[in-house]
Structure 1
Amino acid sequence: MTIDLLKREVALEAEHTAPLQRQETDVFGRIGSMEVRLARSQREIDAAQAIRYRVFVEEMHAQLPPEAMRRQRDFDSFDEICDHLLVVDTALFGDPEDQIVGTYRLLRQEVAMAHGGFYSGCEYDLAPLLARHPDKRFMELGRSCVLPHYRTKRTVELLWLGNWAYSVKHGMDAMIGCASFPGISPETHALALSFLHHNARVKGDWTVSARPELYRDMDMMPAEAVNAKRAIMAMPPLIKGYLRLGAMVGDGAVVDQAFNTTDVLIVLPTASIAGRYINYYGADASRFA
């Protein structure tokens, strides 16, 4: 059984009130009372950072810098240059920032290169990959998280609709970003990592590897010893979702001590996105608009 089977399975307080010049056109889609759009204010970004803190620190036991722990916000310098995708439940009582239930952080290549590079470049050597595709525009997906009560198919659909709509709007050719397994022991995930190594590893012009000093081998089990069904079941939902879309993974895993995770690099050319997903969301991401 190969990956083809899986595809078939289907910030200061004063700044918080500053507008980000967002308009209603930033709403990418709606399902019932929930909508997906970009953050419109520093207050909404702050609320997204608070959700990230709840998920990454309180739930996953990440250890952030002292100021982040004191403020109970997950934030870094990349927040200032990224767009922040939000899933908002408008049925919840309160201001817009009180209605945010999920978030993604999006970074376009031209913005990243003007500010020192992509976040995932800290773990993976992206320069050769980007150099081999000078005619393509990359975007980075990161900091994905959803509040526990909202970890449903509907929320995931909206997040992916938002990512797809954003990529269409900005003419993106490929998505990259780190996705995580829990814990800092890759051996704990030998089955799933070995499956990814044998069945979904980047090839040819899309080859990209973990930085040598951070590289952890994913090839821990021979291909014939890997039970594909069990390996897929052992993967975090986010990684399974990427694979269903047609993603590849970079060569080598990276242990992130601060976030208490074992990371893999997702590489997803938009031309590779499974046709049924494009049909579902619409080639122009208009299905739920």
Structure 2
Amino acid sequence: MLVGWGFGQGLKMPTTPPKGLFAMIDPRGWSSKLPVGIVPLAPHRRLKPALRQRRIENIGLPMTLGRIGSLEVRLAVTARDVKKAQKLRYQVFYEEMAAIPNALSLISRRDRDDYDTLCDHLLVIDHDAPTKLGKPGGRVVGTYRLLRQDVAERHGGFYSTAEYAIEPLIAAHPGRRFLELGRSCVLPAYRNKRTVELLWHGIWTYVLHHKIDVMLGCASLEGTDPSRLALPLAFLHHHAAAEGEWRVKAVPERYVSMNRIAKEGIDVKQALHALPPLIKGYLRLGATFGDGAVVDHQFGTTDVLVVLPIEKISARYVDHFGAGAERHAA
């Protein structure tokens, strides 16, 4: 769904956005159904105290994580910041991409859910752009939502548990810290290398600060008929499947087999061409994929789980952003 890109590479823009990990557009990263065990929140009454707690947890991170020209990347620190991110998500997910909002989001014109109180919100701000009302002060043009394992576990778990049985993965790595990414989007005019660079720089800085060991999230293929996605799904199954203790299986009631073509019957060149560019980017980074896909009829996609241990990230990408995230540091 995102067209082939990696760090330091040019971008071609998608006609349909991807989902999940490292995506620039991610309307399908989260379903409306809360995973079993999640503690319901009153998200907007509790947003301010939640943000105070996030600020305490992020002590040591600079206010500005990075800059390129007029663009700044930083974390949301106020309820107003989060609302700006929610408005941007609504604009991209529901107005541009025609996702189906719930009543609360429709009335408020904001993409909002209980997880907004749990997550850190990464923002890209253009300080040369006026707000939608024409006022000075800059405009939020890109956002990403980050959920750390320690926070998720205090409130019932990661969002991905609605689609994948990730608990055994976490249990198999008790000394590792996991980070779930999602809800990312960028305004159309900013879907370019600079914005992607800053989003990645912000994520990388955050990963280093919180000593994250593993990133995970979902990526999407367009369409809900797995038989029409047989080639890319089978390629991932045979050539990029997570193995051993890293293997994660889709929940039984939503499991769709990815083994739809025998390995010897796969034309690798055609399969790579059929993959969404975002997923090809994950492959370049060193990611592997879970066992089974999940069809999301609400958003018209077939989802796969991406698992990316930090030590598996290609050295050239680490070198690009810097072992200390110094490339775009303010």
Deviation at 1:9, TM superposition (A): 11
User: Deviation at 1:188?
Assistant: 3.3
- Are 1:282 and 2:322 matched, yes or no? yes
Selected match of 2:253 from 204, 207, 213:
213
Tell me which residue corresponds to 2:109: 72
Range with greater deviation from structure 2 (107-116 or 175-184): 175-184
Residue 157 (structure 1) aligned with residue 197 (structure 2): yes
In the TM superposition, what is the alpha-carbon distance from 1:187 to its structure 2 partner?
3.0
1:287 is paired with a residue of what secondary structure? coil
The one-letter code matched in structure 1 to 2:156 is: G
Comparing 225-234 with 175-184, greater Cα deviation is found at 225-234
Structure 1 segments of 4 or more deviating over 4 A? Answer: 6-16, 18-24, 95-98
Aligned equivalent of 1:122: 162
Q: Which has the higher helix share?
A: 1
Q: Match of 1:32? A: 69
* Structure 1 residues 196 and 120, CA gap change in structure 2 (3 angstroms): same
Structure 1: runs of 5 or more not aligned: 1-5
Shift of 1:12: 5.3
Separation in 2, partners of 1:162, 1:275: 18
Match of 1:233 among 265, 273, 277: 273
Q: How far did 1:84 drift?
A: 0.6
Structure 1: which amino acid aligns with 2:143? T
Q: After superposition, what is the alpha-carbon deviation per residue over 1:97-125, rounded to whole angstroms, capped at 9, x for unaligned?
A: 85111111101000000000001111100
Deviation larger for 79-88 or 231-240: 231-240
Aligned-residue RMSD, C-alpha: 2.7
Contact 1:181 1:236 in 2 (8 A): yes
Q: Which consecutive unaligned segments of at least 5 residues does structure 2 have?
A: 10-42
> So what's the TM-score if we normalise by structure 2?
0.78
Q: Matched residues in 2 for 1:133 and 1:52: separation?
A: 33
Distance 1:8 1:225 in 2: 32
Aligned-pair distance for 1:184? 2.5
Alignment length, in residue pairs?
283
Answer yes or no: is the 8 Å Cα contact 2:181–2:216 preserved in 1: yes
The residue type equivalent to 2:324 in the other structure is D
Corresponding letter in the other structure for 1:108? R
Q: Which of 220, 229, 238 matches 1:198? A: 238
Partner deviation per Cα, 1:178-229 (whole Å, 9 max, x = no partner) = 1222332333332222221111111011011100101111222222333333
Identity rate, percent = 52
1:62 corresponds to which residue? 99
The question of whether the paired residues in 2 share the 8 Å contact of 1:180 and 1:264 is answered with yes
Distance 1:96 1:272 in 2: 43
- Aligned residue for 1:3? none
CA contact (8 A) 2:235 2:266 kept: yes
Structure 2 matches for 1:1-289, cutoff 5 A? 21=55, 25-94=62-131, 99-289=139-329
